[in-house]
Structure 1
Amino acid sequence: MVVLGTIIVIALIFFLASIRVVREYERGIIFRLGRLVGAKGPGLFFIIPFIDQLVKVDLRVVTMDVPKQELITRDNVPVTVDAVVYFRVMNPEDAVTKVENYITATSLISQTTLRSVVGQSELDELLIHRDKINESLQRIIDEKTDPWGIKVSAVEIKEVTLPEELKRAMARQAETERERRAKIINAEGEFQAAEKLSQAARIIAENPIALQLRYLQTLSDISAENATTIVFPLPIELLEVFKKRT
């Protein structure tokens, strides 16, 4: 009875040790005596205790910060750039067997690629056309990590830090540009006003009666706004108009 009880206890221990549960977002990679068996999960499955080895791999999207990189752009401007990489494991077997640590490897690849791509870009491209640089980073990193079963879904440059001297120079340049635009707008306004006055002068020169009508309109406006007596010179031309009619 003692031997039978011992066997039952050992069998129960082996049975409990063989039970494994993998969550929905995980996969279990099984190695049997060092040889890859395959991926299991999600759910409940069994392994052979002391013979099978289980390695769990998370399939959720990983958000990884790329450390700040100090580099020089193609137009010789020193900048400090950091980024964030979004990736996930698509093939858990490759992620375990083809690279020692896929997170560390992806981080190092992202750093070197960031330095390379930004170093080949000019400062204006880095500040204005950042979307194109992000797409280029995503494509290159994804190609390099694809053999490891990693899919890079997006790469975003978070911040571009410029030297203080360059910031002041860019601020002066922006202020000068704003002043230039303001002067151009004022000049265009004066030109349009002068053009309209010139057109009005030509019309009055062709029709002298228009000047007299404008004169009378001015008198009417003044009399409506002020209650005091106003002495206003009467132009000779106005009298000549009535004289001609007479």
Structure 2
Amino acid sequence: MTALLVLFLLIIVFVVVMLAKTVKIVPQARAAVVERFGKYKSTLPAGLNILVPFIDKVRYLIDLREQVVSFPPQPVITEDNLVVSIDTVIYFQVTDPVAATYEIANYIQAIEQLTMTTLRNIVGGMDLEETLTSRDSINSGLRGVLDEATGKWGIRVNRVELKGIDPPPSIKDSMEKQMRADREKRAVILTAEGQRQAAILTAEGSKQSQILNAEGDRESQILRAQADREASILRAQGEGQAIQTVFQAIHDGQPDQSLLAYQYLQMMPKIAEGSANKVWVIPSEITKAMEGLGSSIHEIAGIPRDATPRTRVDMGPSEPQLPKPSGSGTSKVVEEAIAEAESVAQAPTRTTPAPVVDAPAEGGPPRE
């Protein structure tokens, strides 16, 4: 019984081993390279595959997905003899598992060395400034060379990127100083531009302000001149009307010799009020002088003794009417108002001619 049990266990183990050697499951996006007696036989796709046990053997399991490999920084000398450190990143994909297995022993190491040599060749023809600003051209050159060289290895290089370009520390300090100088220069230029624009705007504002002030002064002077002119016209018209009113009142009152003598007597105290008149002698013949005073003053004033004008003088409007200035016609309106005032002031007064009175003889009545 023990021997049968051992034999049964051996048979089970053999069956399990046979199944393991016969059935091969390949994951998705993988490819298995199968060898028979050490020679390439076939490539197994993803899924369940049957092998001949103990004859067929899976030599390599190749990953068909795109892979990313980052290489450490490599020292590269530029055209101007400066050493810079450049680290790269390679994106590649295995397209032919058989070529990747049998054409190259270690394709990742081969890609790394090929990248380093190609990078030194490309950067060696550039100076530092061009190297720092020509990442796209360097990437394109690297990708072209790597894709051409790795094609026979069953590998396609999809993309090459320069992860970093590090110049020497002394060069970094010089670059920082240059960058600061450039920024300070731009700041000074911008400040000068700002001050220039501010000065221009200030000058333009001052110019506009002076222009507006001058226009305001001009308008105010014009308005003041027009107001003074109209005030002068009103004063002239008022004086003319006052003279006409007094003249008309004298004619309406019909003054005689007694009134004139009375007015003369009222003026005598005022004549004596002067500070220089210390002594004032009244002549003894003042009575006789008073008799002929009325006729003398009356004749001198041109007022007839027995007749006064009965015709009233046209006084004109009691309130002077000045046309309101409007727009550009102000001067014309004012000139018309002046002409009207002058015509009213110069209008002749119609009076009855007074009879001619001869000077009276001394002590006698006046002769007509």
Counterpart selection for 1:92 from 83, 88, 97: 97
State the partner residue of 2:30. 26
Preserved contact between residue 67 and residue 111 of structure 1 (Cα < 8 Å): no
Counterpart selection for 1:175 from 177, 180, 184: 180
In the TM superposition, residue 88 of structure 1 has moved relative to its aligned partner by: 1.5
State the partner residue of 1:128. 133
In the TM superposition, residue 133 of structure 1 has moved relative to its aligned partner by: 2.0
Q: How does 1:74-223 map to 2 (within 5 A)?
A: 74-199=79-204, 209-210=214-215
Unaligned runs of 5+ in 2: 229-368
| Structure with bigger gyration radius | 2
Q: For residue 125 of structure 2, what is the amino acid of its counterpart? A: Q
Unaligned runs of 5+ in 1: 213-236
Give the distance between the partners of 1:110 and 1:82, measured in 2 at CA.
Answer: 10
In the TM superposition, residue 27 of structure 1 has moved relative to its aligned partner by: 0.5
Quick one: percent identity of the two aligned structures? 32
Q: Could you say which structure has the greater relative contact order, defined with CA pairs below 8 angstroms and 6 or more residues apart?
A: 1
Give the distance between the partners of 2:119 and 2:147, measured in 1 at CA.
Answer: 13
Give the distance between the partners of 1:117 and 1:46, measured in 2 at CA.
Answer: 50
- How large is the Cα RMSD of the aligned pairs? 3.2
Q: For residue 44 of structure 1, what is the amino acid of its counterpart? A: L
In the TM superposition, residue 73 of structure 1 has moved relative to its aligned partner by: 1.4
Q: For residue 108 of structure 1, what is the amino acid of its counterpart? A: Q
Aligned residues, how many? 220
Preserved contact between residue 204 and residue 210 of structure 1 (Cα < 8 Å): no
3-state DSSP class of the match of 2:159?
Answer: strand
In the TM superposition, residue 63 of structure 1 has moved relative to its aligned partner by: 1.7
Give the distance between the partners of 2:18 and 2:190, measured in 1 at CA.
Answer: 87
C-alpha spacing 1:153/1:130, structure 2 compared with 1 (3 Å): same
Output one character per residue of 1:91-126: Cα deviation in whole Å (capped at 9) or x when no partner: 111111211122221222122222222323332233
C-alpha spacing 1:204/1:44, structure 2 compared with 1 (3 Å): closer
Q: Does 1:66 align with 2:51?
A: no
TM-score, L = length of structure 2: 0.52
C-alpha spacing 1:19/1:195, structure 2 compared with 1 (3 Å): same
C-alpha spacing 1:10/1:164, structure 2 compared with 1 (3 Å): closer
